[in-house]
Chain A
Amino acid sequence: MTALGKLFRTTTFKLTLVYLTVFALFAAFLLGYFALNTRRLITEQITDTVNAEITGLSEQYRLGGIRRLVAVVDARARRPGSSLYLVTTFAGESLAGNVTSLPPGTLDNAGWTETAYRRLDESDSAEHPEHRALARVFQLPGGFRLLVGRDLDERERLYNIVISAGRWSIAIVIILGLVGGLFVTRRVLRRVDAMTETTRTIMQGDLGGRLPVAGTGDELDRLAENLNLMLERIEALMHGLKEVSDNIAHDLKTPLTRLRNRTEQALRSAKKESEYRAALENTIEESDGLIRTFNALLMIARAESGQARENMSEFDAAEIAHDIGELYEPLAEEKGIALKVEAEMPAPVKGNRELISQALANLVDNSIKYTEPRKETANGVPAEIVVRALKEGDRILLTVADSGPGIPEAERSRVIERFVRLEQSRSQPGSGLGLSLASAVARLHGGELTLTDNNPGLKSIIALPRGGPVQIGG
């Protein structure tokens, strides 16, 4: 595509053409109307003048008969720029006037006529072309005829001047319009080209690129600003994705390496059947752990991407607190920890029951894992975990409070952050993704997971909006 072709194809240029056409048509219509009206006005003036003269001349005839009329006509006909006059007898014989070579029969009918003529003083037909005149033939009493007319040349000249002026101005409008259109189009095109150029570099992988903003606040600027916001969001997401894949790589590769090493070592050094057996059992255990981690990662990814939003329904959060409490109570008791549930009132909430149960289960599981069983008498604090479901404004809170070591304040936000948990909990049993999943589930529901101090111990709070997640952009 040539540069000019590109110019002609732009929206701006097409718009220019449309405006130009509309404007030119309008101008032509206006000028045409003006020309026709001028012509009509002049014709009206001519008829008025001619009528007045005929009235005057017939008055002269009435007062002084044909002699007086001829004298008056003669006098008038000689004035420069005079009207056209002709007085004839009944037989058509010219008595006075300044007109000749009228087409035969012109005088036969009384009334208005448009006719060709020649003035008496320019009888040479080769030198002077015929003129046209608007004339009125008047029947005088006594058989005489009187013709009074005005030359039409002036009218035609004026008409022609207007028409040609119109043509010129339309031509100028079109030329200026085209030039202006091209100019504006080129300016717009240059900005669009700059944007295209930036987009191309972004597509080639430079996510830091941003579209130029001219600062004029026009529609192109607004578009560029919005696209820049979108680019920022994409960059953040890409960054998150990279972080996630790095963490996945780390979290799956570590156990995979361990698994491979142990298998290799068994192959190399195991001698007895029982040693092989132990190695194989270990392999299965390790792969089960991998599957668990993998499932947890998938679930977090799904929750984060909002895919699980479809399966939401109304349920009672207090019931979930009781159910999860009941599920974990024997485990806690076995470890010497008292697990209590405090959820008296129904706490209806909209969400994914399964996911919220799992999030709460993860928090309880964590608390059981990290709370040390203590003799009730030792420093007076019994080892206990309290699961609560309560209403707070338009939110439902599911809390798990333990009397364990807690998490130092500086570490708390870091722990919730995506996958940071992985780094610290490598030595602990389980996938170590419990808090990450709980946090992802809370965010999926438009809520959040917060960790606070339980003095002593840790208090984890899942806060959920009662009506479920608010639709973004809704």
Chain B
Amino acid sequence: MPSYPDINGQRPFGRIAEAQPDRVAMRLLVIEDDRDAAEYLVKAFREVGHVADAATDGDDGLAMALGGQYDVLIVDRMLPKRDGLAVIGALRAKGMETPALILSALGQVDDRVKGLRAGGDDYLPKPYSFSELLARVEVLARRRVGRSEETVLRVGDLKLDRLSHQVHRGQEEISLQPREFRLLEYLMQHAGQVVTRTMLLENVWDYHFDPQTNVIDVHISRLRSKIDKGFSLPLLHTVRGAGYMIRDGAR
């Protein structure tokens, strides 16, 4: 049975926060017409240490997004006055490249494609879990740093060479299947960040459907047995109720 965030404390999402001690506070804007949902998101983001504002229609949202220095925008697809895709389109037309995540009740593949084509950077169908949203937002915020261009990724004594496709832990070479390599590569690109199962399925396998059984878990445990087995310090961690994270545990 999965474990969910502590509901008794003042910070229901504290557990997720604890999993990432090196979390950098972000400025977020939630554009969502359902006040309850917007309030819930703002509160939840604040609890894990981010700064979040909310707008309840497309025009306000656009004005705030243009005025404020936000790291990530969370935009509902269907909004009064100006719909979510139009808000993103207007921002992009003004040269603002703030990453935007689209929330939508339309979860089909072609809706998703439409959303991304309109300038969105990620797409999350409703209903979503907060941990999924948080993980995706943090990945979006961090993407600007440009880690994806590095040719050698390092986490602790784990080293992944993207050119020679070689993986070393300490002095020992680890041999991985191509898909395991891509899985590790994705995790290391987002080292220190929570990566959810759906994110892995989307980015490593390029599937956007629900595989029903948790196939990803088995892949992770295989990978874990290759990179962590026999080493005193585990690097690949399970974040309960959210996903996985690769992190140098010594810090």
User: Which B residues are in CB contact (< 8 Å) with A331?
Assistant: 213, 215, 218
In the complex, B209 has a CB within 8 A of chain A: yes
Contact B179 A358 (CB under 8 A): no
In the complex, A311 has a CB within 8 A of chain B: yes
The contact sample of 6 A-B pairs, CB cut-off 8 A, is: A296-B210, A302-B108, A327-B219, A334-B218, A354-B109, A355-B109
Contact A292 B110 (CB under 8 A): no
Q: From the candidates A281, A296, A361, name the one contacting B4 in the complex (CB within 8 A).
A: A281
Question: Using a Cβ–Cβ cut-off of 8 Å, how many residues does chain A contribute to the interface with B?
Answer: 38
User: Which A residues are in CB contact (< 8 Å) with B2?
Assistant: 281, 285
Q: From the candidates B7, B110, B127, B209, name the one contacting A361 in the complex (CB within 8 A).
A: B209
User: Which A residues are in CB contact (< 8 Å) with B210?
Assistant: 292, 295-296
Evaluate whether A357 and B209 lie within 8 angstroms (CB atoms) in the complex, with A291-B127, A326-B179, A330-B222 already known. Answer: yes
Q: From the candidates B109, B208, B212, B221, name the one contacting A292 in the complex (CB within 8 A).
A: B212
Evaluate whether A280 and B209 lie within 8 angstroms (CB atoms) in the complex, with A327-B215, A330-B215, A331-B218 already known. Answer: no
In the complex, A299 has a CB within 8 A of chain B: yes
| Chain A 324-366 near chain B by CB (<8 Å), digits 1 or 0 | 0011101100100000000000000000101101100110010
Give min CB distance, B64 to chain A, whole Å. Answer: 30
Give min CB distance, A286 to chain B, whole Å. Answer: 12
6 nearest CB pairs, A to B: A330-B218, A358-B209, A331-B218, A430-B212, A354-B109, A331-B215
Evaluate whether A277 and B7 lie within 8 angstroms (CB atoms) in the complex, with A330-B219, A331-B218 already known. Answer: yes
Contact B209 A430 (CB under 8 A): no
Residues of A within 8 A of B (CB): 273, 276-277, 280-281, 284-285, 287, 291-292, 295-296, 298-299, 302, 308, 310-311, 323, 326-328, 330-331, 334, 352, 354-355, 357-358, 361-362, 365, 368-369, 430-431, 434
Contact A365 B212 (CB under 8 A): yes
Contact B179 A311 (CB under 8 A): no
**Which residue of A has the minimal Cβ distance to B204?**
A327
User: Which A residues are in CB contact (< 8 Å) with B205?
Assistant: 323, 327
Contact A369 B213 (CB under 8 A): yes
Give min CB distance, B212 to chain A, whole Å. Answer: 5
* A76 to B219 alpha-carbon distance, docked (Å): 136
User: Which A residues are in CB contact (< 8 Å) with B213?
Assistant: 331, 365, 368-369, 430
Q: Give the secondary structure class of B's interface.
A: loop
The size class of the interface chain B forms with chain A is 20 to 34
Q: Told that A296-B210, A354-B208 touch, could you supply 7 new A-B pairs with CB distance under 8 A?
A: A280-B7, A281-B4, A295-B210, A308-B110, A354-B207, A357-B207, A365-B213
Contact B212 A362 (CB under 8 A): yes
Contact A280 B110 (CB under 8 A): no
Contact A311 B110 (CB under 8 A): yes
User: Which A residues are in CB contact (< 8 Å) with B108?
Assistant: 298-299, 302, 308
* A67 to B220 alpha-carbon distance, docked (Å): 149
* A361 to B216 alpha-carbon distance, docked (Å): 13
In the complex, B1 has a CB within 8 A of chain A: yes
In the complex, B232 has a CB within 8 A of chain A: no
**Which residue of B has the minimal Cβ distance to A291?**
B127
Give min CB distance, A59 to chain B, whole Å. Answer: 110
In the complex, B151 has a CB within 8 A of chain A: no
* A105 to B3 alpha-carbon distance, docked (Å): 136
User: Which A residues are in CB contact (< 8 Å) with B211?
Assistant: 327, 361, 365
User: Which B residues are in CB contact (< 8 Å) with A310?
Assistant: 110
* A36 to B179 alpha-carbon distance, docked (Å): 102
Give min CB distance, A299 to chain B, whole Å. Answer: 7
- Interface residues in B102-128 by Cβ distance below 8 A to A read 107-110, 113, 127
**Which residue of B has the minimal Cβ distance to A278?**
B1
Q: From the candidates A323, A354, A434, name the one contacting B212 in the complex (CB within 8 A).
A: A434
* A434 to B209 alpha-carbon distance, docked (Å): 12
